[in-house]
Chains A and B, each alone.
Chain A
Amino acid sequence: MFSMDTQTPYVFKVKFPSDLDYVSPVRKFVAETLAVNKFSPKFAYRSEVIVDEICHNAIIHGSRTVDATVEIECKVFSDRFEFQVNDQGGKRDDIERLKHAMKKSDARLADASQEKESRGLGLEIVRLLSEEIKMEVGEDNMTTVRVVRKREDA
């Protein structure tokens, strides 16, 4: 367990190749870190899902080159978890698709069963599991997504 409070977080960063194979160990590491810091198993599981979905989007929509990387920053406060993902910039179409997915749409479930895909469902899940989600597109389409989850009993 690490020293932290509501003002001073335990912070860690992970940078990994933009490849889906890296997401599973990263998401599990985040969940285990939260569990060690006495967040509930449900909180850790939900956070694992959030990390998974946001990293997945960064890899699919924010990687233009084969050597692209994804960087995550986690801030674990005693009363909340803040998670940020930076990718290295996607194509304009990908950014627009991501922006569109940030907007709620009831049609997505039907789309998912039709397309053998789950486009947009991931962000929908993140939105429902978190208190705050923000997306910023910077220079060269580099995208930052920031999510905040509060401890249930905070």
Chain B
Amino acid sequence: MESQIELEYEDIKGHADTKMVRFVGDLDATNVETVLEKICNLFNDGFINIIADFKKLRYVNSTGLGILLHFSKSAKEKNGSFKIANVNENVYEIIEIIGATTLLEIYDEVDEAIAALK
């Protein structure tokens, strides 16, 4: 049984190549493949910019972190970006302690991430 994670999608007005994705639940080894497939589908559909809203992401482990780094790299290869916003304190700590804050684009609010789009 996979850990619970839901991905909710929203278009960003004025940014046709951008999709906002709300992560709801826990991101771990049991559901990274599902998340990988869904986000890769967005890249393949031409959404080269992804804004990940982590307001309701309760938990992430190293496997989940690995996939976030992969999304960031994949987006850059497509001249796009994978931006993260609204990260809760616990999730941020896991990202921070291994030094991944320098590899991921992290914003306090979704609006800031949208404003940073090229």
- Residues in chain A within 8 A of chain B (CB atoms): 20-21, 23-24, 42, 45-46, 48-49, 52-53, 56, 108-109, 112-118, 121-122, 124-125, 128-129
B1 contacts the other chain (Cβ, under 8 Å)? yes
List, in ascending order, chain B residues with CB within 8 A of A128's CB: 97-98
What is the distance, in angstroms, from B25's C-beta to the closest C-beta of chain A? 10
List, in ascending order, chain A residues with CB within 8 A of B99's CB: 109
The reply to whether B69 and A109 form a contact with Cβ atoms under 8 Å apart is yes
The reply to whether A125 and B28 form a contact with Cβ atoms under 8 Å apart is no
Chain B interface secondary structure, helix, strand, loop or mixed? helix
Chain A interface secondary structure, helix, strand, loop or mixed? helix
Measured CA separation A42–B73 after assembly (Å): 30
List, in ascending order, chain A residues with CB within 8 A of B3's CB: 24
The reply to whether B98 and A121 form a contact with Cβ atoms under 8 Å apart is yes
The reply to whether A113 and B62 form a contact with Cβ atoms under 8 Å apart is no
User: Which partner residue on chain A sits nearest B59 by CB separation?
Assistant: A48
Given the known interface contacts A21-B2, A24-B3, the answer about A112 and B65 at a Cβ–Cβ threshold of 8 Å is yes
